[in-house]
Amino acid sequence: MRYIIDAALLQAGLLNRTLVIPSFIYARACEYELYVNFYRLSLTVISLQHLFVCSTVCADYATMVNKGDAMGLDEWRELPIEQQMGFQIPISFMMDLPRLRERGPVITASEYLRIHGQDPEVESTNGFWPQELYHSQANVFESNRTKTPSLFVIENHRYDPPGTVRVDYIPQEMKARGNLNRENGHTEISNLLWRIDGFNGVLADWEPVINALRHSVLEPDLDDHDVVGRILNANGWEVLHTFAHACASPFFC
């Protein structure tokens, strides 16, 4: 989540726009056990049975929701009902919004809806931006009530083109080492890594790199990332921690 919001803040700053973030997030589980209660109400000729999913702690402090209903997904439908439940937590409990706003203008979706004269309760439960609903009214500061918000979608390939790698940040020591003309970039190990399966000319996934090193390096502890990092650095490669996974690259990105 931090990576996504950091990237969104950067994009909002580049575009001189206000970032709108969801008003809440979901916790998949509670630290404490959930349990199911059955409540039976007997009437004159019929018996009504109700099912309640309960928590001794978490539901007292957060709204309990069915994850499948909230997210519009069916992956949990076959689980016992107590395992289908999650907790809706205000994003202000999980993130320091005042500190986030020091980096740029940020509002929540519920604040956006209020500014546009709409009930915050209509906020999408799965994070989707329903343009037809959210763009149906002008904001409260607009004198021209027919001027509703516009929307321009930037396709992913426009800001994340093939051949680029988005990372959290580049450490100072990597900057100090990094250039494309290092002599140690043409070692036997480096040349080996350039030939491994899956290397796309920019980066290689972590596991193929480890497998290649196991056949060429007399190092007993290749399960230690620091050890592998030192070997790669000595041969002109860098370790990158991307949004998806760890990888290695011969380039300073």
Report residue 219 as tokens: 């190092």
The full length of the chain comes to: 253
- Distinct helix (H) and strand (E) counts, the chain: 11, 10
Q: What is the largest CA-CA distance in the chain?
A: 89
pLDDT of 185: 60
Cα–Cα distance for residue pair 246/167, rounded to 1 Å? 10
Nearest-5° angle of CA 103, CA 133, CA 104? 5
pLDDT block averages, 10 residues each, the chain of length 253: 81 90 84 50 43 55 86 89 85 90 94 96 92 93 92 78 69 74 70 84 84 77 86 86 64 42
- Closest alpha carbon to 153 in 134, 168, 133, 131: 131
Q: Considering the entire predicted model, what is its pTM?
A: 0.62
Task: List, in order, residues 6 or more apart from 203 with CB less than 8 Å away.
Answer: 165, 240, 247, 248, 249, 251
Contact 58, 65 (CB under 8 A): no
